[in-house]
Copies of this chain bind each other. A is one copy, B any other.
Amino acid sequence: MDEDEARVRLLDAAERLFYRRGIQAVGMDELRAAAGVSLKRLYQCFGSKQELVEAYLRRRDGRWRAALFAYVDEHSATPEDRPLAVFDWLHAWCADPDFRGCAFINSFGELGAVSDGVAQAARDHKQAVHEHILDLTRALCVTDPVALAAQLLLLVDGAITTAAISGDPEAARHARHAAQILIAAATVPSGAVRS
């Protein structure tokens, strides 16, 4: 087996297991078995569990944002639709049976105090999402796109954690509705006001 393929299989297994059960609950041997890779190969690809965890988080960050903003691009006709499409995607995600909250919030809660790498990965992820949302609010006719983006980000994180703990994806619907109101309130009046 190729080393590149081993890396992919390990990261796939890591994403599945770490996200579902938590990082410390999954041992390297279980991971190795799930990936169908020898322990020797595992430590050739990733020098330590710490390294594998950070690689998992970095890859998940990229994929998660790509999936979200691909959806936003595809499902919104106007700049006004785009922030709301974020919450539509969130609702679908939260309704997924495998959904178990935000991988970064979870791993930050589990290891953020103990591992700088994990804490930094969580910060980087949230920062990157923040900048994406800022791009969306900057495309609107609003008085303060920075403040609006900060507010929408709160709704995103709130919806994800609330849906995770309660098990009810409706949180994303509530967040969408709140976002609608906040966007309307921030929009500079240049015609009819949407309800």
Contact = CB atoms under 8 A, between A and B. Distances in A.
Interface of A: 20-22, 24-25, 100-101, 104-114, 119, 122-123, 126-127, 147, 150-151, 153-159, 161-162, 164-167, 171, 174-175, 177-178, 181-182, 184-185
A154 B166 contact: no
Given A25-B113, A110-B110, A182-B182, 8 more contacts: A22-B111, A106-B110, A108-B164, A119-B165, A123-B166, A151-B177, A151-B178, A158-B159
A126 to B, nearest CB: 5
A22 to B, nearest CB: 6
Contacts of A185: 181, 184-185
Report which residue of A123, A151, A181 has the largest number of chain B beta carbons within 10 angstroms of its beta carbon.
A151
A177 B186 CA distance: 12
Contacts of A174: 147, 150-151, 154
A22 B123 contact: no
A80 B195 CA distance: 23
Contact of A109 (B110, B158, B171, B178): B110
